[in-house]
Structure 1
């Protein structure tokens, strides 16, 4: 698509290794096309507010990120045909990219992952709109929409990703500049 002159918003997983990612970015740059991996949460307004709070020093020096993505994977048919990649490329990416985004690509000293085997109920966490800070609650509500038009709560949050892609293309960007990639 990039070589055909098309801008690309690529569903995750983008690639299976760093060399493939570098090659995709090279082709995008060579063809002067926009390219972004579709991790919709990077464009959420609440993320921008969190970044502003961190950069302003209002919440101190962040030392630890604890992130959870709750999703009843045993109920989703996609896991049956996912070629052995496991859950990291589809849902684990959200917690990994959030931590990378908070620390602005600094390498972590350690990473811990935890899971639960078997049937266990979980709360859905699709599109965050509230952050609790020492100074109080920070909210970034989504604009009203028809919730019956979506399968998951707050799915209208996808529009922020689409708007960000459009903005980047209109401004001549080659990739989403708030991305966690630093290749």
Structure 2
């Protein structure tokens, strides 16, 4: 039997609700459980724990970090807090699966990667897309050359948010690039094998709070390759991804960031979501697919890996570079852009990323 993986959950919002529901829906033989949750108030933590039958609740993030009965932490807090929370966990050598975006800026992302290497501790950005069977099949088809040389990738992600949505608030790390564009960027980088682009150009619209409501980005690569990324916080887009090669086209059907269907030149292939608890309710589409992510993270831990082979630390850095370039060209600036480092001690070892 596989060893038991005990999860600690930091943050009790909607995404943590979905993740815990997914973990609890895993088959018994997968041997995973959630043993503790933490929120900024004990009342919220207890409410969440009671709803999900979690035995322990903490009223601060610091308390749960000291729990010796936790094997890995899932960080589902608002994104401006990710850097501080994950830094503390890594310094204590506690394995981490952190919701996307891993950080607000490239520099913060690099700092966490450094810390992960220094402490020899598992770190994965929770880009669940990479764990879906449809995406893993996509990678295999591309490696097999089924569509020849890829020359164009197109990805769109737009949702109609309310005026008071978190995506529209600077203080909460809002903006379409970090919340939606990250899915487009990670897919482009996956297909393009993380190669450095030649040029990146972005146009978009900002709200009065300085958040990007919409972006349109064109990226060129060597060898005549091109990528097109479109994000929107005000209207629903088709939310599909299309990879075009010299011998054909592959499409990740909507919603491409959590896909259940892959359209190949030979026809469509379906990948049904895993079963959930009979009474399971989810806040987001296809969140039963978070089981794939939990299974993958647990597999990494059981194998003693320090990073995910599906979403490597290099993947996280390259994706952060793209989303940062996108939003900066549109004129978006976060307080974290002025994040202070001691340049005498900061050295990023990108060559250590697999």
Q: TM-score, normalised by structure 1?
A: 0.86
Structure 1 residue 101 displacement after superposition = 0.7
Give the match's secondary structure for 1:143.
Answer: coil
Q: Does 1:35 align with 2:123?
A: yes
Q: Report what 1:25 is aligned to.
A: 113
Q: Does 1:138 align with 2:226?
A: no
Q: Report what 1:99 is aligned to.
A: 188
Give the match's secondary structure for 1:63.
Answer: strand
Structure 1 residue 85 displacement after superposition = 4.7
Give the match's secondary structure for 1:106.
Answer: coil
Q: Deviations over 1:144-178 (max 9, x none)?
A: 33585112331101111111111111111111122
Structure 1 residue 107 displacement after superposition = 2.4
Give the match's secondary structure for 1:67.
Answer: strand
Residues in 2 aligned to 1:9 and 1:159: alpha-carbon distance in whole angstroms = 13
Q: Deviations over 1:121-147 (max 9, x none)?
A: 445725211111111112222123358
Structure 1 residue 11 displacement after superposition = 1.8
Residues in 2 aligned to 1:24 and 1:172: alpha-carbon distance in whole angstroms = 19
Larger Rg: 2
Q: Does 1:5 align with 2:93?
A: yes
Q: Report what 2:304 is aligned to.
A: 172
Residues in 2 aligned to 1:37 and 1:46: alpha-carbon distance in whole angstroms = 19
Structure 1 residue 117 displacement after superposition = 7.8
Once the two structures are overlaid, the 10-residue window that deviates more, 57-66 or 123-132, is 123-132
Q: Deviations over 1:15-65 (max 9, x none)?
A: 233332222112112212100111111111111100000001112111111
Unaligned runs of 5+ in 2: 1-88, 199-217, 220-227, 240-254, 319-349
Residues in 1 aligned to 2:194 and 2:293: alpha-carbon distance in whole angstroms = 21
Unaligned runs of 5+ in 1: none
Say how many residue pairs are matched. Answer: 182
Cα 1:47/1:149, change in 2 over 3 Å: same
Cα 1:121/1:54, change in 2 over 3 Å: closer
Q: TM-score, normalised by structure 2?
A: 0.47
Give the match's secondary structure for 1:69.
Answer: strand
Residues in 2 aligned to 1:148 and 1:35: alpha-carbon distance in whole angstroms = 28
**1:1-183 alignment, distance < 5 Å:** 1-74=89-162, 77-83=165-171, 85-109=174-198, 110-111=218-219, 112-115=228-231, 120-122=235-237, 125=255, 127-145=258-276, 146=278, 149-179=281-311, 180-181=315-316, 183=350
Cα 1:147/1:129, change in 2 over 3 Å: farther
Residues in 2 aligned to 1:15 and 1:27: alpha-carbon distance in whole angstroms = 13
Residues in 1 aligned to 2:279 and 2:142: alpha-carbon distance in whole angstroms = 32
Structure 1 residue 82 displacement after superposition = 3.9
* Deviation beyond 4 Å, 4+ runs, structure 1: 115-118, 121-124
RMSD: 2.4
* Greater RCO, 1 or 2 (C-alpha within 8 Å, sep 6+): 1
Q: Larger strand proportion, structure 1 or 2?
A: 2
